[in-house]
A and B are shown apart, each in its own frame.
Chain A
């Protein structure tokens, strides 16, 4: 971005796209052409990113009712997830029940938020569980997200990966969390990455595309930044850090880099893309750090579930305990809160 002015106006680059889709107040990202000039200009300084995240955590905190409200918002942004080899319909039913009803009624009453009818942001499962989840969530606005495209490695044949996406959409998934081919990033094959994600996007149709970059396997923050940008150019609605299966999951440094790219993409195209960290976010304190970083770098719009999701399985239990502590002044225990 240094030498040339890579400004591609929205009208220019997106003219081939027929319809503008509005989702919850912002227009869905239709993608752009692959612009290698943008990638050329991407610079990421690891140490400086690290310092920014480290000092940010010392600069921001929320207390008391603010903390309670922020944690409730985190629940609303949560993709309550189960992605295990031993998942069964019974397990998924339990999860869906928790998604519909994440807090004890007495706590919701005490917090004065009954009218919000708080649910999690989504439920995230393997394709085999989509049908069960859709059924269990009937009558709610909770979308079912399915992981697809050879999750978690992304190395099965392309037709198969596309078929997987289509099958999940057909089964009622409203969101598809795909994985990218990490090798395309590691070898700098941006065209292949773009084509792949674009194909996934087309396969999704109306369903939202969340692109998992598997940042723990991309080696450098610069790669993370470039992969983020290509995934957005190819039409991702969300970019997501991890499958939860890599040895390194979401962290604040990759978050910083990915959301700065989201900001850059918006500045260049006008389209807002969402962000989803996943893997290892297990405590209320963790999740608030993510919220701070979103608010500071991207602004309040990215604190809402249409642009911010948190992939988590055990986080909700910790949030429940923190909220109960806020209400009672006593530290709470897990067994006081229904499991999901």
Chain B
């Protein structure tokens, strides 16, 4: 057939023809490397002569793109050593110098954007449209944005410094973008980096390292070690790495949390999700359909924040499903290098099998399968058609498990309340999308969703200025914006804190003996019980612990709490949910009221401190003074630790709301038994959290005395709950409790931190531990202020497009 008559034929059919992007330049690049790729360590390319290799493939065709060296312990050691060597001088660079490097990298990404996009598409299988319009351009934006942070670091983050060497392990779904999200803030903050790309997608990191060479980055600042999970494990457990940043599955996130527990390594995790798209009956349904397309069929659904659960209000459910069916017929699945393709290839056969297995399971559980017509996918290559499962119930596997493929599960709801209930009915909490033309409704729902990112009338929008990250088992830490910078910074005082010795004495063997409290026999016994739900509650075990003074004399008794008491305390905290929604002004007022009442009983508390710790009266008075002052500090902060409004480059605002973490476990230090106690509950309360506190085991009496202060200060029942008793076992129960959203741990050697971090893996609660270091609770730089507030909030970015 000649080309000419073909024109006439197409004139009738009006089909799209092929529109291939040329891969010639990438092929040249592969050729230059003889299709063999090693590690980038200390500014050198290291292609080992022997050792293990793995293949880099094009999942759309199965074509082998090259062989890649599999990094070993030795490679990781060498990379960490290089990073360590480079770190001091890197961090010591003037902000302007750092900024110039990052700016150069951003420029180089832009100048090589097509090469990067095509390489990424070849290696990952995602459409060239996305690598070109989204991955690479956002990556460049990330480096520009963080060049800016580097420039103004000194002014914006005084008192903070880099962690040191950061180990980063990134996934295969957005190989280059995730690299940028990890490396840009790490470098801006003054860290040096050892990064391991995903095994399926090693190549764009190689090109990136070459761009870093071109930008003249000093050797050792960026190190890329290629490899698989075993290589990643070497990074995670490496003793000379200060921080691990991981993006990937929740399953691996848990392994990393466990492996790093007690190591003193900082950790941020960006994990899985089962994000809801909620469509209300007053939505622009046609636009909501596009929201679903962007939400679940972007990147073949291989997106951590994919809108994989579609929640439809019952009245419009049928109509919306019909619209989606029609829309699905127009999605083009095929060669990812074709410029007019909506969905490319699934990254690997393994992933394809996982997707297909879950879809089959969904169908076997009653879901109805909707896929476009027969020719939806190319016959060859690793393609999966756009898929919708209707008739899905919350109990279905496909409503709960992350599929990580182009599969959306459709559920229905009746009321806004039910929408929130269903949306939050998941272990995850990464993202959510709300569709409604009623802005009142949308802005009412957004704060109620457990998700780090909420898009109103939009989906899957990202920007370097807006933090991205999850609640719950979607991980912790943020990437992007100011909050993302904090993920790569630590307070400068940390390095000079003294280390705890494990000198915690067991309570006396006579701890359960009946009381014979010296000097108290002639007053009415007021042995404190536990403080749960605004009332004194008898400990479940009905045992008491005797508390002695410095000389070993019995001075009082407290209830011996056990795991059931922790359970009850958490239940009470759960019921006090209203506190998290209370007005910030009110929180401040109540903290002032607490301060007022403590002040009124200054003398009593001073005496108590003298009695329990043996401190000189002046020192005890100072502790009470400082406690009152601290309460004032957080009363002041209560209505001032505001969120931010970001202006991403589009007609919208992104509102970074600072929300309470939820239920916080607070494990108090022994030193400064009153001030330490106040220093933890006050910021937690100020930010709207409900607390379950384990006071000092040695000196609990100033905490139990506080019950009456809480009682008389209008603190709503359940906002603060106190369980006295064996610190280690109570801490373990608290750290393991799946209803607890976060836990702060102070006041022991590193074994306590290890215990907390290890026990937190069940629900991946946020942990803030002392790593065996002793803060001085009287030093305000260490003991109060924004650092505490930051740990008391989750940042939720609500994206609000506007325009009429």
Contact = CB atoms under 8 A, between A and B. Distances in A.
B652 A47 contact: yes
A260 interface: yes
A303 B10 CA distance: 12
Interface in B1-30: 2-11, 14-19
A146 B457 CA distance: 41
Nearest to A219: B804
B4 A111 contact: yes
Nearest to B800: A47
A59 B342 contact: yes
Given A62-B17, A62-B19, A296-B330, A44 B284 contact: yes
A116 B8 contact: yes
B803 A47 contact: yes
Contacts of A62: 16-17, 19, 340
17 contacts: A2-B281, A2-B282, A45-B283, A46-B804, A47-B801, A48-B284, A48-B287, A48-B288, A48-B457, A48-B801, A55-B294, A68-B7, A110-B4, A112-B3, A112-B8, A115-B8, A260-B286
Contacts of B286: 260
B548 to A, nearest CB: 67
A268 to B, nearest CB: 11
Interface in A45-73: 45-52, 55, 58-66, 68-70, 72-73
A201 to B, nearest CB: 27
Given A44-B284, A47-B652, A220 B804 contact: yes
A216 to B, nearest CB: 15
B584 interface: no
B7 A3 contact: no
Q: Would you list the 10 A-B pairs with minimal beta carbon distance, nearest first?
A: A112-B4, A66-B17, A48-B287, A69-B10, A47-B801, A2-B281, A45-B284, A43-B284, A43-B437, A69-B11
B737 interface: no
Contacts of B342: 59
B291 interface: yes
B281 A47 contact: no
Kindly name the residue among B4, B284, B803 whose own CB sees the greatest number of chain A CB atoms within 10 A: B284
A113 interface: yes
Nearest to A295: B14
A61 B339 contact: yes
A3 to B, nearest CB: 6
A300 interface: yes
Interface string B645-659: 000000110000000
A1 interface: yes
A65 B16 contact: no
Contacts of A50: 803
Contacts of B133: 55, 58
Interface residues of B, number: 47
A51 B283 contact: no
Interface in A258-286: 260
Interface in B749-804: 801-804
A63 B18 contact: yes
A220 B9 CA distance: 40
Nearest to A267: B322
A43 B285 contact: yes
Interface of A: 1-3, 43-52, 55, 58-66, 68-70, 72-73, 110-113, 115-116, 220-221, 260, 295-296, 300, 303
Contacts of B243: none
Contacts of A72: 7, 11
Interface string B242-253: 000000000000
A51 to B, nearest CB: 7
A221 B804 CA distance: 7
Contacts of B288: 48
Contacts of B319: 1
A48 B291 contact: yes
B316 interface: yes
Contact of B6 (A43, A49, A65, A296): A65
A113 B315 contact: no
Nearest to A222: B804
B129 A59 contact: yes
A2 B316 contact: yes
A55 B129 CA distance: 9
B458 interface: yes
Kindly name the residue among B4, B11, B802 whose own CB sees the greatest number of chain A CB atoms within 10 A: B11
B608 to A, nearest CB: 60
B287 A60 contact: no
Contact of B287 (A52, A111, A295): A52
A295 B801 CA distance: 27
B39 to A, nearest CB: 35
A23 B178 CA distance: 55
A47 B7 contact: no
A52 B286 CA distance: 10
B339 A47 contact: no
B463 to A, nearest CB: 14
Contacts of A60: 16, 340
Given A2-B315, A58-B129, A59-B129, A112 B7 contact: yes
B458 A48 contact: yes
Nearest to B17: A66
B803 A43 contact: no
A73 B14 contact: yes
A65 B803 contact: no
Given A43-B283, A48-B284, A65-B3, A113 B11 contact: yes
A116 B288 CA distance: 41
A289 to B, nearest CB: 13
Contacts of B483: none
A320 B639 CA distance: 66
A81 B9 CA distance: 28
Contacts of A295: 14
Interface in B672-720: none
Given A69-B6, A221-B804, 15 more contacts: A43-B437, A47-B457, A47-B458, A47-B651, A47-B801, A48-B288, A48-B290, A60-B340, A61-B19, A64-B17, A66-B10, A73-B14, A112-B3, A112-B8, A295-B14
A260 B284 CA distance: 11
A198 to B, nearest CB: 27
A70 to B, nearest CB: 7
A50 B282 CA distance: 19
Contacts of B14: 69-70, 73, 295, 300, 303
A44 B15 CA distance: 30
A270 to B, nearest CB: 15
B2 A112 contact: yes
Contacts of B17: 62-66
A65 B15 CA distance: 11
Contacts of B282: 2, 43
B12 to A, nearest CB: 8
Given A47-B803, A48-B801, A220-B804, A65 B10 contact: yes
Kindly name the residue among A70, A115, A221 whose own CB sees the greatest number of chain B CB atoms within 10 A: A70
A221 B287 CA distance: 13
A66 B17 CA distance: 6
Contact of A61 (B5, B8, B340): B340
B291 to A, nearest CB: 7
Nearest to B6: A65
A58 B128 CA distance: 10
B476 to A, nearest CB: 30
A13 B219 CA distance: 76
A66 B15 contact: yes
Nearest to A72: B11
A51 B289 CA distance: 12
Kindly name the residue among B7, B18, B316 whose own CB sees the greatest number of chain A CB atoms within 10 A: B7
A42 to B, nearest CB: 9
A46 B286 CA distance: 12
Contacts of B652: 47
A72 B316 CA distance: 40
Kindly name the residue among A47, A51, A113, A260 whose own CB sees the greatest number of chain B CB atoms within 10 A: A47
A298 to B, nearest CB: 10
A2 B16 CA distance: 36
